[in-house]
């Protein structure tokens, strides 16, 4: 696959080469002048994209992420003694997606490709189950991480080749938003190359998604790995999001038709001191206010290996005062961990497992409203889920 440098057009490559990011603000008038004569074609889906984004970023609701690859889903199933078969994956996803009343707290669900085309045991398509609950179906579109040549043992995300045709098919199947996850590692630098590659890849994906009717979730995950302090995470996050929004603008992405899925600004998982929810909220919101335009409708945080309770407490702390955007959640493990352990692969436990999903979804709904309390939470929900070098 082509790298970012090969994908940039001649003008952009020359301009960026002579204008490092730190000095771009001084050259904005030149860039604007050069762009005046270039016609920009807006996506024919523009109004729909804006409406979809607003629907997902609705009060008291967030995203259920169940887009784990089959291999990762297999690891989850193995933890409760189940084989990694399509039958078992379908049974677990059916449990999640047919939970009665889920739409009260969940506005969107990110699916893996296999799940997008699956149905319940009764023959009802999963996308129709979601629609019945007023939940927007979404789809993971990236093809995973691979080593980035020339970097400090860092990664880049595959999947741009064929993305337009795949996105068109996903739209026909009922998907209305997309997710592309790339990662940035603080212990590895991060290098300027890795940051630029992550930002450019996300921007190209976002433009292609919008051109095919899918609201792109923009997710440059800053991994929890490392022993660095929270101040270092804030510094890296500001740099990464600066690059991301520069390239989103370069690719003429409509900001009102995207959603962000950032990491919370926390210390490294191995740092000697843990930060309070109030400190995490202060640093995270500082970064967002410095980097994210208010035109963006929703900030849907990833949990990144935090415990279920930690992720909810931190989100709650960020909603203690008004924000320019809908500040909510897009959690996978932080919504599913207790569910999986309650289910244990047994049909007789399905109802109890669905109730545990509603408990976690409601807790995060309250956190989005800023009214959550951790009183009465189970010890299981307080257990951390950090995995070094975690992959989907």
Let me know if 219 is a catalytic residue: yes
Q: Quick check: 338 and 308 in contact, CB under 8 A?
A: yes
Q: Quick check: 296 and 259 in contact, CB under 8 A?
A: yes
d(CA 258, CA 242): 16
Task: Compute, in degrees rounded to 10, the torsion defined by CA atoms 231, 235, 237, 240.
Answer: -170
Q: Quick check: 279 and 234 in contact, CB under 8 A?
A: no
Work out whether strand 62-66 and strand 106-111 pair parallel, antiparallel, or are unpaired: parallel
Work out whether strand 177-184 and strand 155-157 pair parallel, antiparallel, or are unpaired: unpaired
d(CA 258, CA 252): 12
DSSP 369: H
Helices (H) then strands (E): counts for the chain: 15, 10
Active-site pick, 154, 219, 308, 310: 219
Q: Which residue, among 43, 392, 7, has the nearest Cα to 215 in the 3D structure?
A: 43
The DSSP result for 190-247, as a single string, is --HHHHHHHHHHHHHHHHHHHHTT-EEEEEEEE---S---HHHHHHHHHHHHHHHHHH
What's the Cα-to-Cα distance from 6 to each of 10, 12, 197, 200, 251, rounded to whole Å?
Answer: 9, 11, 11, 11, 15
Active-site pick, 196, 239, 261, 308: 261
**Residues recognised as catalytic:** 219, 261
């Amino acid at each position: 696959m082509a790298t970012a440098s090969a994908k940039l057009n001649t003008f952009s490559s020359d301009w960026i080469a002579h204008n490092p990011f730190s000095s771009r603000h001084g050259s904005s008038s030149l860039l604007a002048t050069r762009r005046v004569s270039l016609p920009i074609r807006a996506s024919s889906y523009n109004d729909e994209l804006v409406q979809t984004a607003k629907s997902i970023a609705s009060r008291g609701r967030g995203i259920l992420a169940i887009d784990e690859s089959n291999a990762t889903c297999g690891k989850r199933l193995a933890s409760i003694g189940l084989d990694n078969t399509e039958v078992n994956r379908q049974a677990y996803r059916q449990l999640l997606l047919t939970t009665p009343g889920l739409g009260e707290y969940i506005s969107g669900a990110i699916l893996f490709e296999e799940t997008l085309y699956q149905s319940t045991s009764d023959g009802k398509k999963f996308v129709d189950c979601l629609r019945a609950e007023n939940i927007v179906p979404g789809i993971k579109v990236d093809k995973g991480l691979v080593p980035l040549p020339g970097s400090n043992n860092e990664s880049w995300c595959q999947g741009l080749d064929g993305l337009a045709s795949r996105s068109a098919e996903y739209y026909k199947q009922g998907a209305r938003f997309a997710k592309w996850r790339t990662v940035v590692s603080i212990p590895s630098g991060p290098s300027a190359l890795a940051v630029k590659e992550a930002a450019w890849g996300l921007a190209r994906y976002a433009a292609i998604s919008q051109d095919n009717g899918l609201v792109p979730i923009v997710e440059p995950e800053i991994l929890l790995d490392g022993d660095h302090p929270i101040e270092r995470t804030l510094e890296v996050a500001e740099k990464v999001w600066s690059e991301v929004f520069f390239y989103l603008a370069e690719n003429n992405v409509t900001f009102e038709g995207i959603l962000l899925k950032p990491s919370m600004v926390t210390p490294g998982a191995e740092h000697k001191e843990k930060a309070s929810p109030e400190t995490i909220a202060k640093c995270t919101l500082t970064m967002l206010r410095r980097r994210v335009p208010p035109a963006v409708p929703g900030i849907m945080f990833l949990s990144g290996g935090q415990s279920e309770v930690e992720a909810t407490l931190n989100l709650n702390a960020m909603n203690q005062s008004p924000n320019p955007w809908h500040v909510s959640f897009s959690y996978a493990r932080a919504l599913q961990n207790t569910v999986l352990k309650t289910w244990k692969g047994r049909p007789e436990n399905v109802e109890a497992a669905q109730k545990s999903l509603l408990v976690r979804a409601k807790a995060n709904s309250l956190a989005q409203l800023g009214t959550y309390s951790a009183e009465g939470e189970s010890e299981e929900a307080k257990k951390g889920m950090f995995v070094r070098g975690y992959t989907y």
